Structure 1
Amino acid sequence: MTEHANSTEGRLDRSYAGNLAENARFPDDEISLIDLWRIVMRRWVWVLVGFIAFVAAGVAFALFSPPVFEASAKIQIGQVRSDSGEDRASIPIVSATVASAELLQSSSDLVGSGELKSVSITAQSDVWPAILDIVAVGSTPEAARQTIEQTLARLLGAHQIAYDDAISPFLDRSNVLAERHSEVQETLREYDAGIQALRTTDPILAMLLLSEKSDLAERLAQIEAEISEVRVRLSSPMTFPSHQVGSILASDVPASPRPPLVLALSVAFGLVGGLIIALVAEFFTKARQVSAQ
């Protein structure tokens, strides 16, 4: 039993001694701020090289990258009140997806002109009906603005045709009701004249005409109610065509590149990159020293 205990203690002592030797050979990987500062001071050349490289790349990008300009506008898709009597029965004349496809199709020939880079569209689905955000990117402010103007004209023109087709049945109904209203009013005036003439000569017939006149008056009231309903359906906010929201936003200042932002990022990346290069150099130096030992 004593020999076994002594053997176990011997193994533990050798294991502990081995761990000490291993720790001495490979110290703790954690680096304090003081150690980091010492590394920077020893490897300041690498830090400077990394910093200069990143800053030079950023300055070159800011100076030699072609400027890009943006222009933007918003379109609210028109809607038409449906025949149902629900509270939210107004439906868009075109869906946001269809409108987006129309927009991109209408500007596809402009993108190939050379000065225009791209046209993008985003639908604000949280707004009813949807609002389309249109952004044109061009190599000059004039190219971006002209693209927005041409795209708006094409898209709004196409939507106006869809809007006219959608409200056409209501307009036809309104015209028919207006004709009926005029006819009933003319008939009522004739009944008034006949009743006035028959009051003394034939009171009974006058009473019959008066009864028929009340039916015509009720019919006239129904027609006027229908006319009022059609007018409500054709008026805002129930019904309105697609229209531009606000004005076109365009700036003579390039959207990209932005020299102050590029310079700030290049300085930040330069400091981080230089520090990383210094740490890597320190790591390989220590690794060679350990291998030599």
Structure 2
Amino acid sequence: MEPDDIYLIDLWRVLCRRWRWVLGTLVLVLGLTFAYARVARSQWEASGWIQIGQIAPTPSGQDPKIETLLRTIERLQTRAFQDAVTTGAGLAVTSPEASLYRASLKLDPEPYANLIRMKVRGYSARQASDLAYATANALAAIHRQIGELPLRLAHQHLDDIRKDLRIALEDRDRLTREAAAGGMGGGVAAIALSRKNDDIRGLQQAESDMVARLIPNYTFETSMPWPVYVPADKVSPHPVMIWAIGLVMGLLLGCGVAVARDAAGRARRVEPNAADAALTVPGRRDR
């Protein structure tokens, strides 16, 4: 057995000798735990989903979303955006409520579903819910500005298609009358009428595709598809967890203090004996 080895039985004997230190440290830690449980403010957590808006009539090969998922998450994590949300909710940016909002905001993207799961905390269930809605509304306002020009261009393109279709229909009616009149001009009109019918079918197909892309199924604003959910129970502080952590920490600190106290006591007992041994010269008697 090495002199520096420590066995469990020895540790148990130390704790039995110094049980007062273990108990005293445990009581002190539990007292601090009780004070924290009474002083700590209760927190509620709200969770919700944000669906990024999209404009379907986009050039081929481009993402129809108003803003990509990654850029949206980066925007939500910026201090400027978070300060704008808290200010819009009537909170000062230096207030504890705003600090809790910034620290608790968690984002979990779902790329294949075009969704972002959001979690945020507040010092009341109502406050947590309001901050979640304020976050989604602030993002929707920004996306509305970004998508305003592409959406206006899409509607303008649809108007141009309908204008061309109206002119093509008028030309077809004219060519139909000319073809019905017969003669040499009627033969040319019949050929032109056949081509005009092809143009009309193409314009009608383009109009149908554009209208289908602009319906709410494919073109929509950023929003929350489902209401925000806030559990009835607070998420922090959790009484059972707090007391369990306090108990474990108290026992660990108590054992550490007891061992340190016992080691310090042994060191004080060894020092006088070492000093007496140094004064004694081996092999010499006093005269």
TM-score normalised by length of structure 2: 0.78
- Partners of 2:109 and 2:231 in 1: how far apart? 27
Name the CA distance, whole Å, in 2 between partners of 1:91 and 1:149. 21
Once the two structures are TM-superposed, the CA of residue 99 in structure 1 deviates from its matched residue by: 5.0
Partner amino acid, structure 1, of 2:124: T
Secondary structure of 1:119's aligned partner: helix
Q: Provide, for residues 106-146 of structure 1, a one-character-per-residue CA deviation record: whole Å limited to 9, x for no partner.
A: 32323329683432344546626875554443322222222
Q: How is 1:141-220 mapped onto 2 (pairs within 5 angstroms)?
A: 141-196=125-180, 198-199=181-182, 202=183, 204-220=184-200
**Residue 265 (structure 1) aligned with residue 239 (structure 2):** no
Deviation at 1:223, TM superposition (A): 1.7
1:217-258 Cα shifts (integer Å, max 9, x gaps): 122133234324434554577643212143212134222211
Pairs aligned (count): 263
Matched position secondary structure for 1:85:
coil
Instruction: Describe how 1:1-293 pairs up with structure 2 within 5 A.
Output: 28-81=3-56, 83-86=58-61, 88-93=62-67, 95-96=71-72, 97-101=74-78, 103-109=81-87, 110-112=90-92, 116-117=97-98, 118-120=100-102, 121-124=105-108, 127=111, 131-196=115-180, 198-199=181-182, 202=183, 204-231=184-211, 233-234=213-214, 239-293=219-273
- What's the TM-score, normalizing by structure 1? 0.76
- The structure with the larger Rg is 1
Task: Kindly indicate whether the alpha-carbon contact (under 8 Å) linking 2:15 and 2:22 is maintained by their aligned counterparts in 1.
Answer: yes
Cα distance, 1:267 vs structure 2: 0.8
Give the CA deviation at 1:187: 2.5
Q: Is the Cα contact below 8 Å between 2:22 and 2:255 reproduced in 1?
A: yes
Task: Give the CA deviation at 1:173.
Answer: 0.4
1:126–1:30 distance in 2 versus 1, CA, 3 Å: farther
Paired letter, 1:246: W
Question: Any unmatched runs of 5+ in structure 2?
Answer: 274-287
SS at match of 1:254: coil
8 Å contact kept, 2:178–2:185? no
Query: Could you list the per-position Cα deviations for residues 234-292 of structure 1 after superposition, in whole angstroms to 9, with x for gaps in the alignment?
Result: 45776432121432121342222111110010011111111111111111111112212
Residue identity in the other structure for 1:274? G
The structure in which a higher percent of residues are strand is 1
Q: 2:97 is aligned with what amino acid? A: L
What is the match of residue 9 of structure 1?
A: none
Amino-acid identity (%): 18
Residue in 2 aligned with 1:18? none
Residue 47 (structure 1) shift: 1.2
Instruction: Give secondary structure in 2 for the equivalent of 1:137.
Output: strand
Distance 1:164 1:100, change over 3 A: farther
How many Å separate the matches in 2 of 1:247 and 1:29? 64
Q: CA RMSD in A?
A: 3.0
Say whether the 8 Å CA contact 2:66–2:143 is kept in structure 1. no
Deviation at 1:193, TM superposition (A): 3.6
